[in-house]
Amino acid sequence: MKLDLVKYSLNNLLHRRLRSWLTMLSILIGVMAIFALASFGLGVRHYIDELSQDMGTDKIMMQPKTAFALSEEDYFTQNELEFIRKVNGVGEAAGMTFRSSQVYFKDSGKIKYVYSMGLPTDETFEMVEQLLTVDLLEGRTLKDGDVLKATVGYNYGIEDKVFKRAVRLGDKLHVNGVEVEVVGIYEEIGNPSDDSNIYLTFDGFEEIFGVKEQYGYIAIRVGEEENASAVADKIEDKFRKYRGEKSGQETFTVQTFEEAVATFSNIINGITGILLIIALVSLIVAGINIMNTMYTAVVERTKEIGIMKAIGARNKEILFVFILEAGMLGLAGGLIGIGLGYLVSKAGGAAAAAAGYASLRPYFPWWLIAGCLAFALLVGSLSGLPPSIQASKQNPVESLRYE
């Protein structure tokens, strides 16, 4: 009997193809929007998780409160770096410095403005690479004695990304008018700014910018079995006293990598949540549309309902038929919406990657697909419930008389 009711419901929907399609269209759009937005939100979360694994949770980042356009007194000094290294719980610490710079490549004829970074070449270099999440693609990394040599970000090795012609190993770049040789190219990080960085040794940085022992960042790895948050609090307290600053008026920030990830995650979750709420509005509209369609169907099939009751159909079977039809509309719209949402997400991810934002890639866990399908089915079924109840309670005699 149930199978006959399923066939009957399906035939009713197919008999009114245009109305069924227009009803599905509203829920299709809502599911497509939710699926695409959620996949990008989950993709960013997945990227952050991968980043956390690469960088580790034992890292602490220290920088001036004014992160950009720093004045001379904002930078950390070598003496301050040595002080940080002596704080109990610190395993190793390294300074990094950066400046906005003009970069010229003779084969391009254009000047670009990018960030140049000065990096250590001692035993802390591995930690700094982990913090920067850079992995070598070609050539070699920097070493002692590399005064006018540089490693460059991924975009330099791609045509029309930074310069018209791709930069190769051994090519010469002019950084603020000083010629440096490219000895290494890093793999893609996932955003245009980082993938356009130039990396120099401290000696090279001093040669080009005239800056020595001034650090815009201090990267810290805590000792084994040390708690990063506890060590960060200790560094903040001791360094505040070292600089003679009052609590709450520090000119620097100390943050564990986990805290930085949590802050970024909260921002992403907030933005994604707002967008999903907007997308949910379309599903509410879809639910109203389905309800309206089912009420119309009940009115149109009043006499049909009377005939079904006259030949023995019970109220629950009438209820089942109309809820099933509404659920089918929701499920079909959800299936198509997921398919279109997948295509939109893949196209958006490809466009983001082409623009240099490879970190903005969608992620499609199985539960996202199952959840969207279940949600579409639920919206359809619940929207069809009121008209279904109305249909099931109709008096068969009055229904048979209906014209």
Element (H, E) at 146: none
Listed in sequence order, the DSSP H helices in 301-365 are 302-310, 315-354
Residue 275 confidence (pLDDT): 74
Is residue 360 classed as helix, strand or coil in its secondary structure? coil
Q: Is 129 exposed, middle or buried (0-12, 13-18, 19+ CB in 10 A)?
A: middle
pTM for the predicted model, two decimal places: 0.76
Give the pair of three-digit tokens for residue 365.
Answer: 């866990």
Res. 65 pLDDT band, cuts 50 70 90? confident
Beta bridge partners of 114: 101
Is the Cβ–Cβ distance between 286 and 293 less than 8 Å?
Answer: no
Domain boundaries, the chain: 2-52+262-401, 59-225
Rounded to an integer, the average pLDDT of 190-207 is: 92
Q: Compare 165 and 359 and report the one with higher pLDDT.
A: 165
Please give the mean pLDDT across all residues of the chain.
Answer: 85
**Whole-number pLDDT of residue 400:** 60
**Which whole-number Å values give the CA distances from 226 to 221, 223, 230, 233, 257, in the listed order?**
10, 5, 8, 12, 14
Residue 343 has a pLDDT of 94
Predicted pLDDT at 202: 95
- Which stretch, 38-47, 101-110, 165-174, 312-321, has highest mean pLDDT? 165-174
Confidence of residue 396 (pLDDT cuts 50, 70, 90): low
pLDDT tier for residue 380 given thresholds of 50, 70 and 90: confident
Q: Is the pLDDT of residue 10 over 80?
A: no
| pLDDT tens figures, 209-250 | 998 889 999 999 998 888 888 999 999 999 999 999 888 888
Q: Say whether pLDDT at 402 is over 60.
A: no
CB atoms within 10 A of CB 347: 12
| 201: Cβ contacts below 8 Å, ≥ 6 apart | 118, 119, 121, 142, 143, 144, 146, 147, 149
Q: Which two tokens stand for residue 31?
A: 């599911």
pLDDT digits (tens, 9 = 90+) for 145-161: 999 999 999 999 998 88
- Residue 255, Cα to own-chain centre: how many angstroms? 21
Instruction: Specify the range with the lowest mean pLDDT, choosing from 36-45, 166-175, 366-375.
Output: 36-45
Express each pLDDT in 74-132 by its tens digit: 789 999 999 999 999 999 999 999 999 999 998 776 889 999 999 999 999 988 888 88
* 66 vs 379, residue with greater confidence: 379
Q: Which of 370, 299, 288 is nearest to 326 (CA)?
A: 288
